[in-house]
Copies of this chain bind each other. A is one copy, B any other.
Amino acid sequence: MTDQIITAAMLAIGDELLSGRTKDKNIGHLADILLLSGIDLKEVRIVADEEDAIVAALNALRGTYDYVFTSGGIGPTHDDITADAISKAFGVACEHDAEAMKLMAAMYERRDMPFTEARQRMARMPVGATHIANPVSTAPGFTIGNVHVMAGVPQVFQAMLDNVIPTLRTGTPMLSTAVACPFGEGDIGTPLGAIQKAHPETSIGSYPRYLGQSFSTEIVVRARTEAAMQAAAEEVRQMIETIRKAKVEENHSAEA
């Protein structure tokens, strides 16, 4: 763990995410895990299975953030072009990796399944990449430079991510606390803005929920120290109490 801020981006790859056929589950999972690890997820992009789109997005992200995590496109079919695209982005050849071939050949042998040409495609990776172990279905993901390339199937993505996280530099985890607020953002906007201004070392977010009749809000205070977080959260609770009292008085005078 370092005092530095460590940043990350995700690149989710796949036509199926853009056609609505698959509702992505990996972005939210990665966000949860990175938060716990003290790595700030700053940007996500979703692109189609098109080489130019993948290369352009990957190069933009890997130049901007400490880490990039990709999902999807490393299976055995013709639309799985992630390994080729990543190789192109790094300017290296994409080849069958000897160690991956051995691992996979042994697995298919054990399962009495043919190690087809299509399955062998999954052993391809950029020259110089290192493996990300896949305890679910053997075919490895890979790391090259600051880019971690993982599967799109959520069970496999999650298992691979578990193997990547311990290898990363992590920052001071962002702490967070939530304060439930029965009032809508329109009631709290101005005083909450003042609290944020008074506590620049925190990041205060308000998340409205629409409950059919009216909005309520969840107010989340995030900071890298417990003291900073609690100080701002206490002011948020006082603000809610002040608004509650003002509303009670308003009702009383309306009834009087």
A residues contacting B by CB (< 8 A) are 15-24, 27-29, 31-32, 34-35, 40-49, 53, 57, 75-80, 113, 116-119, 121-122, 136-137, 153, 155-156, 174, 176, 185-190, 192-193, 196-197, 203-210, 215, 220, 222
Return chain B residues, CB-CB under 8 Å to A16: 205, 207, 220
B190 touches A117 (CB 8 A): yes
Residue of B nearest to A34 (CB): B20
Task: Please tell me if the beta carbons of B189 and A119 are within 8 angstroms of each other in the complex.
Answer: yes
A116 contact set on B, CB distance < 8 A: 186-187, 189-190
Contact A76/B189 with A18-B44, A220-B16 known, Cβ cut-off 8 Å: yes
Whether the Cβ atoms of B153 and A206 lie closer than 8 Å is no
Contact at A19–B41, with CB atoms within 8 Å?
Answer: yes
CA distance A122 to B215 in the complex (A): 14
Structural contact, A45 and B44, CB atoms closer than 8 A = yes
The answer to whether residues A76 and B186 also contact, given A24-B27, A136-B210, A210-B153 and a CB cut-off of 8 A, is: yes
Partner of A43, one of B27, B42, B53, B155: B53
Most buried by B among A42, A117, A122, A174: A42
